[in-house]
Amino acid sequence: MARPFRFGVSMITPSTGGEWRKKCRRAEELGYDVILVADHIGMPAPFPAIVAAAEATQRPRVGTFVLNAAFWNPTLLAREVATTDALTDGRLELGLGTGYVKAEHDMAGLPWGTPGERVSHLRRTIEELDRLFASDEFQPHPTQQPRPPLLIGGNGDRMLRLTAEHADIAAFSGARAGADGKPSAITAEDLDERVATYRRFASAHTEAAGSARAEPAEPAELNVLVQMVEVTQDRRAAIRPSLSLIPDLTEDEALDLPILLLGTVRQMAEQLRAQRERYGFSYITVLEPSMEAFGPVIEELGA
């Protein structure tokens, strides 16, 4: 049976306190289930922003989407996570990733490292968070036990294996980052393969750990980040101005991308239902500039 849809919006624009609370309340009015904050230099600092989002709203959960693990010392991060979970009354979802923008590491005076080194650091961070939250000696403890739900974002094999071992939510961006940190779209067929690889790793991990569990682990929720939402009667006309950004894809391949939602509200809702069937994506995240445009799609899918 397919999971019910959940909808998140990733807030990326710095705001005053009043403006921030207003747009968070608007996200709640539009039906979003999760208000998220990224972890990029030039955008809002994630933890104070999500505490403010929780104070301004009643229903939505709040989360990081996603923290750059290289920015954080694991012990200090554990303190931030536990405090934020308490201050938001257990509404926190913790999203973690390796970071993919070298310029941000340079600006912060932090080592960039190889992809393998960044994944290894993320693994150490996750394992240290779990160790600290399980320790009676560490304070504070998060409200949610043993920890807030963990989302991990990434497409490479090592990231997918890490996700299969630890994550409650597996996040797919539909893009891969190059050596310069610039993301490029992967085809819908490539994404099929990445999701299948994740499922293979998850199945192997579940089988290996099964004898130690009293009950089978619940499969992870699958998330996709939608980069563009445009309500239009002409999908092809809407995609053409963006084709120069994805030069390796044909127009038809671009229109098949899960990271693009173009069409009428009904067409977009049908696309998301089809993608849930094809990939398993039930948790849909859009970026703040698309928050209003996507609102009617949430209503359509809930009808």
- Tell me the average confidence (pLDDT) per consecutive run of 10 residues in the chain, 303 residues long: 94 98 98 98 97 98 97 98 98 96 95 94 98 97 97 94 97 74 79 96 86 58 97 96 89 94 98 97 98 98 86
pLDDT value of position 215? 47
Residue with tokens 């173009």: 262
pLDDT (0 to 100) of residue 246:
87
CA torsion angle 19 23 26 31 (round to 10): -160
* Rounded Cα distance, 172 and 30, in Å: 24
pLDDT tens for 213-222 read: 444 467 899 9
Token code pair at residue 280: 């398993």
Q: In whole numbers, what is the pLDDT of the chain averaged over residues?
A: 93
Closest CA to 268 of 298, 243, 227: 298
Residue holding tokens 């084709």? 243
Question: How does pLDDT run across 114-155, given as a tens digit for each residue?
Answer: 999 999 999 999 999 999 999 999 999 999 999 999 999 999
Cis before 146? omega within 30: yes
What fold is seen in the domain 6-302? TIM Barrel (3.20.20)
End-to-end CA distance of the chain: 19
Lookup result for tokens 């053409």: 240
Total residue count of the chain as it appears in this document:
303
